[in-house]
Amino acid sequence: MAIVGYLINQYPKISHSFIRREILALEAQGLVVLRFAIRASADALVDPADLDEASKTRYLLAEAGLLGLLAASVRELLVRPPHWLAALYLAISLGIRSERGLVYHLAYFAEACVLRRWFAIAGVECVHAHFGTNSATVAMLCQSLGGPTFSFTVHGPEEFDKVEGIALREKLKRAAFVVSISHFGKSQLQRWCVPDCWSRIHVVRCGVDRAFLEAPERPMPTAFELVCVGRLSEQKGHFALIEAVDKVVARGWTPHIILVGDGELRPSVEAEIARRGLQGNFEMIGWASNAEVRDRILAARALVLPSFAEGLPVVLMEALALGRPAIATYIAGIPELVQPSINGWLVPAGDTEALAAAIEEVLAATPKHLTTMGLNGVQRVRQYHDCHYEAVKLARLFATCCPQRER
C-alpha cells in the first residue's frame, strides 16, 4: 500500500480531532501514514489520544532549526538546481501577491527543502495537507522541488475568505486532487478553477469514530441544560448566544449553557455575561478531552452553535451521533447535516430573536420529542459521517496518486 505523508501546520490540536480520526481510519485501511507538522500546537494537550499522536509526529521547525533550513536550501541548490530555481521562482511569485508577504514564502521554501529530503528518505509517495493555507503552500513548493505529488483538504471558512492571498487557484491547478468536506465547500472551490479541473475536486466528509457511533443510548435529560462547544473566537457567534439567552431569561426561562472551549475572546465573553447579569446561566469550562466533551453533550438537551462562519463543524456530527439534536445557523455546509424539525433547528446567523425562539423550543420540548429528533440525528451521521467509510473514499484517491506502488 501507499506511504502517505500528512502535513499540517500544527498537529495535533485540541480542535482537530477529525484529522486524528481520519489518519487512524486510513491506517485501518492498510495505508502507512507518516505525520509531519511545521510546529507543535500552542494549546496544552489534554486528551491522551492527542498526546499519543504528538509522539508519532515529526516537527519541522523544532528539529531542523534555522541552520537546518539554510543547510537544506543549499543542499537542494547543489543537488537539483533546475528544481530549486523553479521552486524559488514559485515561492517569490506567490509571496509578492500574498497577504503574508515575501519573507514568509521564502521561509516556506526553506521548509519545503527540508521536507523534500525527509519525504525521499521515508519513501513518501504523496503528501496530503489539511487546510488550503500555509501547509498546502509548503506541500506545493516541495512538489516543485521534485518531491512527491500533493493534495489537500479545504475546510473553510478561512480559505474562502482569502482566495487570492493564499493562492488557492494555483494550488487547485497543481494538486493531484482536492478534498472538500461538504458540497457547499466543493461549490466554492469550483468558483475558483476552470471546469476542466472540477473532476479533481471530491467530497470526503469529516467523520466520527465508533466511540460516538456505537455509544449506548442515554436518556434525554430533563434539566434545562444546553452545551456550546467551540473556540471563543469571532466566527463562533458567542455574543449572539449571550444576547439570545438574555431574551430567553427575560421571558421566564432558566436555561443553563455550558461553554466548552477557550480562545482569544474569553475575557470579552466573560465580561458580556457579567454585564448582562447572566453568570447563573452560563458555565465556562475551557478546553476538554474528547471523553469530557461526550459527557457534556450527553448531559445536555441539545447542542447550540450560533456560528457566523464555518465549514462543517465536527461537533455537530458528534452531538447528533450521541442522540442529541442541535441548534445551528443556515451557513456553509451545516444545512447538509442539520435538518429543521427532524434532527435540529436552523436559524439565520446573527438573528438573536430566532436563536432565542429555538432555545425556547428546546426547553419546552418533551424528552420523548427530543429523543425522536436525536435518533434521527444518529441515522444521519451513520449515513454520511462514518470516518471509516470516508477513509475508504480517501484511500482510493491516494491510490490514484501512487499508481506504481498499487500496480
Residues 376, 390, single domain; the answer is no
pLDDT value, residue 406: 41
Residues 157, 247, single domain; the answer is no
286 phi/psi in degrees, rounded to 5: 75, -160
Residues 378, 401, single domain; the answer is no
Residues 217, 344, single domain; the answer is yes
pLDDT value, residue 403: 55
In degrees, rounded to 5, the angle at the alpha carbon of residue 179 between the alpha carbons of residues 44 and 41 is 10
State the total domains in the chain: 2
Residues with Cβ within 8 Å of residue 90, at least 6 apart in sequence: 140, 141, 144
Is 200 within 8 Å of 286 (Cβ atoms)?
A: no
pLDDT value, residue 42: 80
C-alpha cell at 78: 547543489
Gyration radius of the chain's alpha carbons: 22
Whether pTM > 0.75 for this model: the answer is yes
Residues 360, 390, single domain; the answer is no
Residues 62, 197, single domain; the answer is yes
Read off the pLDDT of residues 111-153 as tens digits, 9 standing for 90 and up: 999 999 999 999 999 999 999 999 999 999 999 999 999 999 9
Count other Cβ atoms within 10 Å, centred on residue 175. 24
Residues 90, 105, single domain; the answer is yes
Is 133 within 8 Å of 385 (Cβ atoms)?
A: no
Residues 126, 274, single domain; the answer is no
User: What is the spatial distance between Cα 247 and Cα 353, in angstroms, rounded to a whole number?
Assistant: 8
Q: Where are the alpha helices (DSSP H) in 29-133?
A: 48-56, 60-79, 81-97, 102-122
Rounded to 10 deg, the angle between the 48-56 and 17-28 helix axes is 60
Residues 186, 221, single domain; the answer is no
Read off the pLDDT of residues 227-237 as tens digits, 9 standing for 90 and up: 999 999 999 99
Residues 313, 393, single domain; the answer is no
Domain residue limits at 122: 3-207+386-406
Residues 124, 225, single domain; the answer is no
Mean pLDDT by 10 residues, the chain (407 residues): 92 90 95 96 83 96 96 96 98 92 96 98 96 97 97 94 93 96 97 92 92 84 96 96 98 98 96 98 92 93 97 95 97 97 98 98 97 97 94 94 54
Q: Which of 348, 339, 306 is nearest to 320 (CA)?
A: 339
Q: Where are the alpha helices (DSSP H) in 80-229?
A: 81-97, 102-122, 134-144, 158-161, 168-174, 183-191, 210-213
Residues 291, 369, single domain; the answer is yes
Question: For residue 42, what is the domain's CATH number?
Answer: 3.40.50.2000
